[in-house]
């Protein structure tokens, strides 16, 4: 899998934004995931999975659902540096302008397979069908990301049916605080200086 932060770098002016610099890191032991609530021109949830030294990233307009019957659109966006996983703050005018909080984070295990044989994350990404188990503060258990047929950018985020599946619980609207700062997106008004 080609990991690149070229697009991440091209879109941002690091003299102006407090977002992390575009650095690729390798060989981390535990693989992390993060979901960032991002009030930009539209509210969305950025779902990021560590793969190949960067965070593979999808923008999920409605956020994750715990109901296996619900498929949430997840648009693939540019790779982000691993340092982005702890980023909260205000992105000034320019690309992605708006407020970001860390809605959930933790580690994940790859559970991707084909015909009962395990697939690496890189293989699963290429195939367009990734399965993983989240160990987050809010989200737990199995999820899948499945790419639309014939479309590189559009994927679906789906909760897999397990003991953490719940058709009646909506964490996006009931658990709105950052798992890092306990702030809500509306309560975040820190000013950043690099
Ligand atoms: Mn975003």
Overall pTM > 0.75: yes
Q: How far is the CA of 22 from the centre of ligand 1 (A)?
A: 16
**SS3 call for 124:** helix
| pLDDT tens-digit map of 13-67 | 999 999 999 988 765 667 999 999 999 989 999 999 999 899 999 999 999 999 9
Any domain includes 11: yes
Residue with tokens 């535990």: 30
Distance 42 CA to ligand 1 centre (A): 9
101-140 residue pLDDT tens: 999 999 999 999 999 999 999 999 999 999 999 999 999 9
Distance 133 CA to ligand 1 centre (A): 23
CA–CA distance, 175 with 169 (Å, rounded to integer): 10
Candidates 20, 18, 69; CA nearest to 48 is 20
Is residue 1 domain-resident?
no
How many structural domains does the chain have? 1
Structural domain boundaries, residue 96: 6-191
Residue with tokens 């009962």: 116
Asked if 170 contacts 70 with a C-beta cutoff of 8 angstroms, the reply is no
Q: How far is the CA of 40 from the centre of ligand 1 (A)?
A: 7
Cα–Cα dist 165/193, whole Å: 41
């Amino acid at each position: 899998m080609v990991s690149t932060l070229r697009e991440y770098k091209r879109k941002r002016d690091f003299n102006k934004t407090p977002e992390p610099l575009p650095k690729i890191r390798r060989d981390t032991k535990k693989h992390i995931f993060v979901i960032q609530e991002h009030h930009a021109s539209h509210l969305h949830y950025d779902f990021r999975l560590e793969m190949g030294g960067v965070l593979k990233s999808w923008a999920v307009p409605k956020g994750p659902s715990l109901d296996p019957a619900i498929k949430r659109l997840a648009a693939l966006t540019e790779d982000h540096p691993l340092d982005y996983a702890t980023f909260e703050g205000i992105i000034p005018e320019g690309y992605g302008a708006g407020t970001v909080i860390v809605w959930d984070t933790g580690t994940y295990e790859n559970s991707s397979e084909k015909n009962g044989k395990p697939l690496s994350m890189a293989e699963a990404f290429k195939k367009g069908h990734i399965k993983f188990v989240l160990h987050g503060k809010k989200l737990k258990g199995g999820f899948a990301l499945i790419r639309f047929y014939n479309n590189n950018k559009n994927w679906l985020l789906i909760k897999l049916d397990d003991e953490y599946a719940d058709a009646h619980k909506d964490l996006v609207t009931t658990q709105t605080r950052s798992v890092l700062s306990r702030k809500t997106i509306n309560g975040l008004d820190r000013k950043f200086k690099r």
